[in-house]
Chains A and B, each alone.
Chain A
């Protein structure tokens, strides 16, 4: 746990090492995260999602510059896909943010999805905790950007920014089908291009339809030209406003509690399954799977049998 001490003393290399340890799921990850946990909970976590090519990385870079001017520290977790064939990954989000890399108030970490679907890596939430405990006031999570399947970000972040760009075909229709409900703020980036007003109008229409329940948050639609920094200051203001809304409405507390609930359930599920499987005799799992494939056994009965064998499983160390 010496690494945790160095980390808590502000050692950035220790922070980077901790992230690797947690990401690689070393057996000590739970212990490390437990030691960090009391130091987390201060950061505003902002998810940035949207299709590839909409300018997410550039936008996150420009947002960070503006936030740094306000004196706050920023963490960035940028997720890119792992190759399903080689398991390797090309992590290129830093290209658009490299001038921030020498700013001591910024910590950027690239992550590969390592087989996880839904736009984030399995350990993304835990890596955010490390940056939170490091004292970063605002943490951006930039998702893979595969489009509609990225709802996991809604669980991981307090504020979700959905980025679209004009001229990308039916993208906005796709957003409406998938990402619409999770957006707290819409950004039409590359707004100097033709079609920006049309994009705003397309997003506005269903928002107008939804506006029935009293004082619910209505996602604002902001136009930016991230590459020139235009409209980015207003976006920072919108992030702050949304955080204010979450606090006042009690949503922040609710979100945090839901996240804790899901997290504890997930940890229990994984640990129980692992312990159950470790109790099986050599080859028993494979035999079971073969019997299921041959229709001698069904998955429901198999699962029931496994559960029956659990007994006092919870007591195991």
Chain B
């Protein structure tokens, strides 16, 4: 019979038009056996939260290169809370300066992946995160 599959939403909030990293990660996660819902570029926080709800995902992965993470991430987390999805772990990747990491962890981002992170590290982090929840 069918088995339980881990579902993850990979979304790119904000206005930068570079989704290569997000696509590479999406493929790697598929190859690791996850069901990846990929929504493409320029997602508003509302789109991301509502998609997470409809798709009943176990995790949300946000990719951002524009530098707007300190503005967009809190809004996404707040909307997830409001929809009763505050228990879904949120991971982030992209260009995120080290000095922002404590604040991001503080607001509830489970893990952050910078440039050069291998896809294995990301898969490993996801497995760890899922074990905790």
Contacts and interface: CB of A to CB of B under 8 A. Distances in A.
Q: How large is the interface on A (under 10, 10 to 19, 20 to 34, 35 or more residues)?
A: 20 to 34
Contacts of A23: 2
Contacts of B2: 23-25, 114, 122-123
A102 B29 CA distance: 26
Contacts of B36: 88-91
Which of A12, A87, A108, A110 has the most B CB atoms < 10 Å from its CB?
Answer: A110
A86 interface: yes
Given A94-B39, A102-B44, A86 B5 contact: no
A248 B36 CA distance: 43
B55 A16 contact: yes
Interface string B9-43: 00000000000000000110111111111111001
Contact of A112 (B1, B27, B35): B35
B82 to A, nearest CB: 11
Given A91-B38, A94-B39, A19 B56 contact: yes
A102 B47 contact: yes
B39 A86 contact: no
B31 A110 contact: no
B46 interface: yes
Contact of A83 (B3, B4, B31, B54): B31
Contact of A16 (B27, B30, B53): B53
B55 A86 contact: no
Contacts of B105: none
B47 A98 contact: yes
A130 to B, nearest CB: 11
A102 B46 CA distance: 7
Interface string A70-94: 0000000000001101111111101
B72 to A, nearest CB: 16
Contacts of A87: 5, 33
Contacts of B31: 83, 85-86, 88
B100 interface: no
Nearest to B31: A86
A40 interface: no
A259 interface: no
A86 B33 CA distance: 5
5 contacts: A86-B31, A91-B36, A94-B39, A102-B44, A122-B2
Interface of A: 12-13, 16-17, 19-20, 23-25, 82-83, 85-92, 94-95, 98-99, 101-102, 107-110, 112, 114, 122-123
Given A85-B31, A88-B32, A88-B35, 5 more contacts: A12-B53, A90-B38, A91-B35, A102-B50, A108-B51
